[in-house]
Amino acid sequence: MNLTFATAARVLAQLRADKRTIALIIVLPCLLIGLIAWMFEDEPTVLDRFGPVLVGIFPLIVMFLVTSVATLRERQSGTLERLMTTPIRKGDFVAGYAFAFGVLSLLQAVVVVGWSVWLGMDVAGPLWLVFVVAVLVAILGCTLGLAASALARTEFQAVQMMPAIVLPQLITCGLLMPRDQMPEVLEWLSRVLPLTYAVDAMQHLAAGEEWEGIQGSVAVIVAFIVGAVVLGVLTLRRRTA
């Protein structure tokens, strides 16, 4: 457990040293939400409906990218090989990353939700649940990134993992088309992809539901996080060729 926190502290120190990345992670979603608010200036209900959903999607994309690149960097710089000769357990490594990026995503969620509310987003359900879902999605993105980075050998592959793993989820998550109107196969596909449940939870919150209305979706997101952590630990190898 100590080594988990030591690793999280180290990853956060690395992030602190990279102010531009932090700025991008926090400013970019604000900018995009600002564009949407501007585009639908005359129909404020659009922001009320889609704002929370976007707040739930950004962290998945951003954290997935940042983690898969960071882990690849650890592999290529030789620091991962060195870590594997120290007492750190593979679970410490994965949890340390998830914890550090969880902290960053909390910051992101606070700023992005605050900004959206200032722009006029009116969430009918409790606002704190929007934070909770956003942070869980960020941790999910981080753990998926860790698991996916094991499949990538080069930066090119790592960056391509994002469209490969995130875009299908974006297409089927219910943002482009309500899921009950999709062809049956696609609806089933959407059910096995985690972003669907994040969007579902956010849509329910936007519609004014409370914890009872989203607890099922939240449970599924948590299950996916656990699964991704297990996958991340299993794909990390102490011995390499």
Partner 1 sequence: MRQNPSEARPAAVRVAGLRVVRGGRPVIPGLDVEVPAGSVVGLLGPSGSGKTTLLRAVVGVQAQVSGTVEVLGEPAGSPSLRRRVGYVTQDASVYTDLTVAQNLDYFAALAGIPSRGRKAAVAAAMSDVDLGGHEKQPVRTLSGGECSRVSLAAALVADPELLVLDEPTVGLDPVLRRDLWETFRRLAASGKSLLVSSHVMDEATQCDRLLLLREGVLVADITPRALLEETGAPDAERAFLALIDAANAVGADGSSPAAGGVPGAAATGRAREEDGR
Rg (CA), the chain: 18
| Three-state SS at 192 | coil
Rounded-to-integer distance, Cα 105 and Cα 60, Å: 10
Of 15 and 135, CB closest to partner 1: 15
Per CB under 8 A, the segment of 74-82, 107-115, 116-124, 181-189 that binds partner 1 is: 74-82
Nearest-approach distance from CB 159 to partner 1, in angstroms: 19
Of 73 and 179, the one with the shorter C-beta distance to partner 1 is 73
**Max Cα-Cα span within the chain:** 60
Among 43, 81, 122, 210, binds partner 1 (CB under 8 A): 81
- Number of chain residues interacting with partner 1 (CB under 8 A): 26
What six digits make up the tokens of 193? 């992809």
Site for partner 1 in 94-153 (CB under 8 A): none
Residue of 175, 150, 145, 151 whose CA lies nearest to 57 = 175
Which segment (3-11, 27-35, 120-128, 168-176) binds partner 1 by CB under 8 A?
A: 3-11
CB of 85 to partner 1, least distance (A): 4
d(CA 47, CA 54): 10
Site string for partner 1, 212-241 (x = CB under 8 A): -------------------------xxxxx
- Does residue 183 touch partner 1 according to CB under 8 A? no
The CB-of-22 to partner 1 minimum distance in angstroms stands at 13
* Residues 83-102 interacting with partner 1 (rule: CB under 8 A): 83-88
Which residue bears the tokens 């030591």?
6
Encoded one letter per residue, x for contact with partner 1 by CB under 8 A and - for no contact, window 8-37 reads: -xx--xx--xx-------------------
Given 43, 82, 167, 234, the residue binding partner 1 (CB under 8 A)? 82
Distances (CA, A) of 223 to 70, 79, 136, 177: 24, 30, 11, 25
Q: Give the other-Cβ count within 10 Å of 14's Cβ.
A: 13
From 31, 35, 45, 79, residue interacting with partner 1 (rule: CB under 8 A): 79
In order, the DSSP letters of 30-77 are: HHHHHHHHHHTTT-HHHHHHHHHHHHHHHHHHHHHHHHHHHHHHHHHH
Other beta carbons within 10 Å of 127: 14
Interface positions with partner 1 (CB under 8 A): 2-3, 6-7, 9-10, 13-14, 17-18, 77-79, 81-88, 237-241
